[in-house]
Chains A and B, each alone.
Chain A
Amino acid sequence: MRVTFTVNGRSAEADDVWEGESLLYVLRERVGLPGSKNACEQGECGSCTVYLDDVPVCSCLVAAGQVQDRQVRTVEGLADGDRLDPVQACFIKAGAVQCGFCTPGLLVQAHDLIERNPEPSDPEIREALAGNLCRCTGYEKILDAVREAAAIKAGIA
C-alpha cells in the first residue's frame, strides 16, 4: 500500500508498505529519518518515541497505515534550523547524553512534557519519562536538563 503523511512539516510518501509494517520502519527505512531508534520493538523502551498529531507515541507500535494524512514529528524536527530546541540545548549543558541511543525518544518525551506542563515538579518529570529507558546516565542529568529547559521555556512564555 501507499502511505502519505507529513513528517517534520514536509509531505512524505512511502510505496509498497506492508500492512504489518511499523511507523518506525517507515521512518527509518523508507523516508530517510533514522534518528528514531529501535531498541526493543515492543513499546517498552521509548527510544522510538515521535509525535503523532502532537501526541508522543512509540513509533514501533504504530502501524504505518495509521499515519495516513496525519502529522509526525521526529527528533530530526525538534530544532529550528540551526537553533536547537531548549530541551536539546539543555541536554548538552547538563551533560545528559552518553551513548545517545535513547536520546531521540527522550527528547520528544521531554519536549512534550514541557509543552503540556511548563512547571513540572520532580515527580512529574520522573513520571513523564518513565516510559523511556536509558542505560547510561542514571537519569540524574536528564532531570537537570528537563528542569532547566522548562524554566527557559517558561521564561520565554
Chain B
Amino acid sequence: MNDKLVGQPLVRKEDPRLLRGDGRYLDDLGRGALAAAFVRSPVAHARITGIDVDEALDVEGLVAIYTHEDLPGRIAEPLPLLIPHPDLTHPRTPYCLANGEVNHVGEAVVMVVATDRYLAEDVAERIRVTYEDLPPVVGIDQARAGERLVHEDAPGNVAARSVQTNGKGEAHEAIASAPHRLALDLHIERSASMPMEGKGVLAHWDADDRTLRVHSSTQTSTSVRLAVAAKLELPPDRVEVITPDVGGGFGVKIVHPWPEEILVPWAAMTLGRDVKWVEDRREHFTSSAHERAQQQHVEVGFDEAGRLLGLSVEIWHDNGAYVPYGIIVPIVTSTQLLGPYKVGAYRVEFTSLYTNTVIVTPYRGAGRPQGVFAMERTMDAIAEYLGMDRLAVREANLIQPEEMPYDQGLVFQDGRPLIYDSGDYPTMLRMIRDLVGWDGFEAERAAAAAEGRRIGIGIGAYVEGTGMGPYEGAHVKVETTGEVVVSTGLTTQGQGHYTSLAQIAADVLGVGVGDVTVITGDTRRFKYAVGTFASRAIVTSGNAVAIAAAKVAEKAKRIAAAALGDGVAPEDLELVDGRVRRRADPATAIDLRTVAVLSNPLRYAFDEETKAATQFAAATATGEEPGLEATGYYMPERSTYAAGAHGVVVETDPETADIRILRYCVVHDCGVVVNPRIVEGQVHGGVAQGIGGALYERIVYDDAGQLVNASYMDFLIPFATEVPHIQTAHMVTASGLNPLGLKGAGEAGVIPTSAVVASAIEDAEGLAVRRMPISPSELYELRKARQARKEQVSA
C-alpha cells in the first residue's frame, strides 16, 4: 500500500533544473528577438507638449518608434478596470502610452524597438519629450487636502469611498457608551513586492497560422491571454500565453495587462518579427506597482476586561495614479482587520486616494499587514490603558472554537460573506505564548537590564482569507508510458506547485510523485484559470487536481474491470503502486500504463504495447471516451480562513537606537498541509518580507514626486545578515469547505510582522510606536521627543 504523499515534506521536483542554471525565465528566451525600450516620464505630473524624435532616427539598428498617436483601435483606449466595484465611483486607468498627460514618474510615453536593447536605449535617450509641469500630488496628506488634483475630473482625488459595518449596532454609539475609550492615529509607508526578476514579455506572431504566442513573466497567463485578445481584437483562440519560469511575483505580476503586455505583442504583429522587452530594476521601481501606504484613525470603546464593544476605523489609502486593480487592497484591510477577534459594533470607512505616484496593487499580504497593524496596536493600547497583560486583552476578545463557523458580518474581497470556516485561536495563542517565552520574559528582561541591555517582547495574531474563487481547474492524463501529466492553468513563481500538485495527483492515482509531471501557466495546455495570488493556488488548483484525478481513477477502474473480465467490477478495484488491482486479490491486477493503452481503442498496432488495444485483442470497456484522462474544476463557495500568531523579542540599543531581532516565532495554521517543507519555506519568506516592511523597506518620494530610492542600493531588502532564525510551529484545523481540507499559506508570514515588531519595540522602549517601518533614526527621534515632553512637564 502506498504511504500517503500528501503531508510529506518531499523535496521539490523542480529544483535540480533550477540548481544547474537550467531554469528558463523570460529573459532567457527569445535570442535574436528585437528589443523594446521605453521613454518614461521624468516628472510626476505634466502635460506633454511635444515629442521630437529627429535626433533618434539615424541610430543604426532602429526599427520603430511608437507614441500614443500611433496606436490603433482599442490599444489606444485606456487599459481595463480589472475589478469594478460600485464604490469605485471615479476609476481611472492608464493608457499603454501616455495620452497627452503623465501622472507619475516612470509612466511610459514612447516605445522604441531596435535590433538590441543597447541600441533601443540609445534611441530612447535621443528622443526629446517636452512637458508643461502640473502641480504634483504626493503623499496622503496632500491627496486628502484636495487642493491639487491628479485627475481633474476626480474631485478631492477620491477614487472610492466605502463603508462597511458588521450589523452589530452603531459603532460610534457603542464607543460613546463604553466604559473606556481610546483613539489612535497610525501610518504605514509604501513598500513593494520587488521580486528578483522584474516583468518581461516576448511575442511571436505567426503570420501563416495567424496566431500570436506571448511569453510573459506573469501570475496569470489565462487572463493575459484574454486581455491581449480583447485589446488586439483577436479571437482568444488565436492567442497563446505561456509563463516560463518566473523569478518571484508577490502580487505585482497579478496585475495585467501591463502596457508592455499589449504593446510588445502589437509591435510583433505590426513588424512581423519577434519582439522582447525585459524590465530593468529601475523601471520596476518606477513603473510597476507598490503597496501598503495608509493612514488610519482608530476609535475604540472597551470594558474593564478589555473587550471591544465598539470599533470605528477610518482609512486613507494611497492608490497611486491609477486604479487598474480596483480597490481590493483597502477592502482587504477593512475586512481582515478584525483578525481572530470578535468586536461589538464595527464600522470601517476607507477613502482611496489618487496621488502622482506609481500605482498601488496587492503585494503579499494585500492590505492585511495594515489591518493587523491597526488591530494589534489597538490591543496593545488597551492593555497599556487598563494596565493589563497584552496577551490577556487578546484572549478576552478571541473567537472560540465552538463559535465556528463565525460570521464577521462583512463582505470579503471575493464578494462573499466573511465567514471563518474553522480555527482554534485560543490554542494558537497558547502555543505562541510558549514558543516565544512570554511567561518567563520578565526574568529575561531583568537579566538583560542587568547587563545594560534593553529588550522587549511583542505578540500578535491574524486571520487570512485564502483560496478564493471563482475557480481553478486541472487536466489529468495517464500516458501510455505510465507518466501522469497534470496540467493546470494557474501559474507558479516558486511555490513548489510542480511538487505539491504532484503529491495530490499521485495519492489519488496510486503512483509515485516521480511519475507525475505538472504543467502550469501554459494556455496551450489549459485555458481556463484565474491565477496564482491571494494564497489560493493549493486550495483551488489542489482540489481541482484531486477532482480530475479521481475521475481518471474511476475511469481506470472501469477499463481495468473490463480488461480483467471474470466478473470483476470497477468497485472491486483500487489503484496502488502503478497498478489497478483487486482489493480482495491483489495478484489480479493490470498496470495503469496498460489501462492507458486500452483506454484508446486502436485500429492499428505500433508495438507490443499497443497490440493489446487492437480490435481482436482486448476486452475494452464500452461507452468510454478515448484516453485515460479527465478535466476537473473546483469552485469554492467562499474563501477559507487560515490563521497564525507571531511572537518576537527585540533588543534596542540604548545609545545608537539600533533595533535587532533576537527571536522570531510563528504559529501557523493553514489546514491540512500538503508539503510541510514548502509551507515552512513560504512562512520564512513571508516573515523576511515582513521584517523588511517593519524595519527597512520604504519607497520614498520627494515633494516633486521623484522616487528617490529606486535601486537595491537604497531600497533596503534584508540580506541573510538581517533575517533572524525563525522558529515555527504548526497546527491543523482542516477546512470543511473543500474536499482536501486545505487553506492557503502563501502570504501568511508577512501579515502580522510589522505589528509584532512595533509591539516589541514599544515594550522595550516604553513609548508608543504608531508608524511603520521604523528606523534607528526614527526611534532616536521618538526618544528625543519623549525626553522633551518630560522636560516640559518638569519645567
Q: Is the CB of B196 within 8 A of A133?
A: yes
Contacts of A76 in B (CB 8 A): 20-22
Contacts of A18 in B (CB 8 A): 118
CA A132 – CA B717 in complex, angstroms?
10
Q: Is the CB of B687 within 8 A of A138?
A: yes
Contacts of A45 in B (CB 8 A): 196, 712
CA A47 – CA B712 in complex, angstroms?
12
Choice from B9, B21, B496, B726 contacting A98 with Cβ under 8 Å:
B496
Contacts of A79 in B (CB 8 A): 20
Task: Tell whether B719 is near chain A: CB-to-CB under 8 Å.
Answer: yes
Chain B: CB-nearest residue to A125: B720
> Per-position contact with A for B190-209: 1 when CB-CB < 8 Å, else 0?
00001111100000000000
Task: Tell whether A33 is near chain B: CB-to-CB under 8 Å.
Answer: yes
CB distance from B21 to the nearest CB of A (A): 2
Which of B170-178, B233-241, B242-250 binds A?
B242-250
Task: Tell whether B16 is near chain A: CB-to-CB under 8 Å.
Answer: yes
Contacts A99-B494, A102-B196, A134-B196 known; A126 to B721 CB distance under 8 Å?
yes
Which of B24-32, B333-341, B462-470 binds A?
B24-32
CB distance from B277 to the nearest CB of A (A): 14
Contacts of B55 in A (CB 8 A): none
CB distance from B82 to the nearest CB of A (A): 24
9 shortest interchain CB distances as A-B pairs: A35-B21, A101-B247, A99-B494, A138-B688, A100-B18, A138-B684, A98-B494, A44-B712, A75-B21
Contacts of B19 in A (CB 8 A): 75, 84, 88, 91-92, 97, 100, 103, 107
CA A38 – CA B21 in complex, angstroms?
13
User: Could you write out 16 A-B pairs with CB less than 8 Å apart?
Assistant: A44-B711, A75-B20, A75-B21, A92-B11, A92-B15, A92-B16, A92-B19, A95-B681, A97-B15, A98-B681, A101-B195, A102-B247, A127-B721, A138-B686, A138-B726, A141-B680
Q: Is the CB of A104 within 8 A of B712?
A: no
CB distance from B89 to the nearest CB of A (A): 36
Contacting residues of chain A (125-141) with chain B, CB-CB under 8 angstroms: 125-127, 129-141
Contacting residues of chain A (78-108) with chain B, CB-CB under 8 angstroms: 78-79, 84, 88, 91-93, 95, 97-104, 107
CA A37 – CA B280 in complex, angstroms?
12
Q: Is the CB of A135 within 8 A of B15?
A: no
8 more A-B residue pairs beyond the given contacts A99-B196, A129-B720, A137-B688, with a C-beta to C-beta distance below 8 A: A28-B28, A35-B21, A39-B247, A92-B16, A100-B14, A135-B717, A136-B494, A137-B684
- Classify chain A: how many residues form its interface, as a range: 35 or more
Task: Tell whether B210 is near chain A: CB-to-CB under 8 Å.
Answer: no
> Per-position contact with A for B686-721: 1 when CB-CB < 8 Å, else 0?
111100000000000000000000011100010111
Contacts of A143 in B (CB 8 A): 720
Q: Interface residues, chain B, CB within 8 Å of chain A?
A: 9, 11-12, 14-16, 18-25, 27-28, 31, 118, 194-198, 245-248, 250, 280-281, 493-496, 677-678, 680-681, 684-689, 711-713, 717, 719-721, 723, 725-726, 749
CB distance from B293 to the nearest CB of A (A): 20
CA A91 – CA B681 in complex, angstroms?
12
Chain B: CB-nearest residue to A76: B21
Q: Is the CB of A135 within 8 A of B248?
A: yes
Chain A: CB-nearest residue to B21: A35
Task: Tell whether A59 is near chain B: CB-to-CB under 8 Å.
Answer: no
Contacting residues of chain A (22-43) with chain B, CB-CB under 8 angstroms: 28-29, 33-42
Q: Is the CB of A129 within 8 A of B21?
A: no
The binding surface of chain B is classed by DSSP as loop
CB distance from A1 to the nearest CB of B (A): 15
Choice from B18, B21, B719 contacting A97 with Cβ under 8 Å:
B18
Contacts of B250 in A (CB 8 A): 135
Task: Tell whether A64 is near chain B: CB-to-CB under 8 Å.
Answer: no
Task: Tell whether A52 is near chain B: CB-to-CB under 8 Å.
Answer: no
Contacts of A88 in B (CB 8 A): 16, 19-20
CA A18 – CA B117 in complex, angstroms?
13
Contacting residues of chain A (112-153) with chain B, CB-CB under 8 angstroms: 125-127, 129-143
Chain A: CB-nearest residue to B689: A135
Q: Is the CB of B493 within 8 A of A99?
A: yes
CB distance from A33 to the nearest CB of B (A): 7
Q: Is the CB of A138 within 8 A of B723?
A: yes
Contacts A133-B196, A135-B250 known; A40 to B719 CB distance under 8 Å?
no
Q: Is the CB of B712 within 8 A of A42?
A: yes
Contacts of A92 in B (CB 8 A): 11-12, 15-16, 19
Q: Is the CB of B711 within 8 A of A42?
A: yes
CB distance from A152 to the nearest CB of B (A): 15
Q: Is the CB of B681 within 8 A of A44?
A: no
Q: Is the CB of B20 within 8 A of A98?
A: no
Choice from A34, A40, A137 contacting B712 with Cβ under 8 Å:
A40
Contacting residues of chain A (60-88) with chain B, CB-CB under 8 angstroms: 74-76, 78-79, 84, 88
Contacts of A41 in B (CB 8 A): 280-281
- Output the residue of A104, A131, A135 with the most chain B CB within 10 A: A135
Contacts of A29 in B (CB 8 A): 31
CA A42 – CA B141 in complex, angstroms?
34
CA A4 – CA B772 in complex, angstroms?
51
